[in-house]
Structure 1
């Protein structure tokens, strides 16, 4: 295989990967927007499903991590195309170079990332509030005592929140920069 053919094949493969990643991102966001409110509603209105409430904050964290993983994979593909493939393919600038050379075009990325973070925090802290009010903390499974389970749950949710704040800050910087 010639070097130019290999570069073109890499480009085509990465564009296909970008397309598949965008589909997975859509499905993750769609699932999160449906599953979290639905499970929250069920855990609040159906007493026999109250055990779902303490798991809701973790579901929000998992959905968010999946979203970040897919979005970072998408950005890595774009950066590789920009840095390794576009300079070797043509004399004219490619899409990734054009996009990264115009910071005003990245403004929408910042808005989207900001909206995602707002939705995450709303979902997460509502889920934590509902989880901490769950009847599970007073169930016979935990010995009917609220202190130990409630503190353990609260500390776990706080650790999750701190971890996500750090992750969100890093993600915000990475997904809205136009620098290599």
Structure 2
């Protein structure tokens, strides 16, 4: 039987990170995700924070060198939260633990806070800005998104102040349009 499209998976199960800094990375991801090890030894750790047996694995492979910043490969891993309140709570908790964001940006479809792990891998934490995939797709098909597919930077402390003032989540998540934009300097 000939099919025109390969059957898609039901979900993304996990990501494995190879590291020369096993102990530091293992501790970082446990803190960052509020995760615990479902299995762990001196070179391998399977971390879970939900119903899956592991979402992140950290492995120390002998001979692994440091990340080469401008090489091809995975750009970032993204984790979604249900609400802006949850995104801001985790921002504050991570800040308290000494983990500061690299970049805060409203992409349009998402409000996102990016971090950089000890090996230099990027991690995105996000909340969807639209209630449905159809609404997000419509925004991504818009002229505003075509003009600026990167997004508009924001100050997370200001976002928290807006939440605390009682401002509506829909208005907070609406991207401020400020014209064309390329990649941020730190990404180049």
With the shorter chain as reference, the TM-score category is: under 0.3
Higher helix share: 1
Rg larger in structure: 1
Calculate the TM-score normalised by the size of structure 2.
Answer: 0.21
Greater relative contact order structure (CA < 8 Å, 6+ sep): 1
Calculate the TM-score normalised by the size of structure 1.
Answer: 0.22
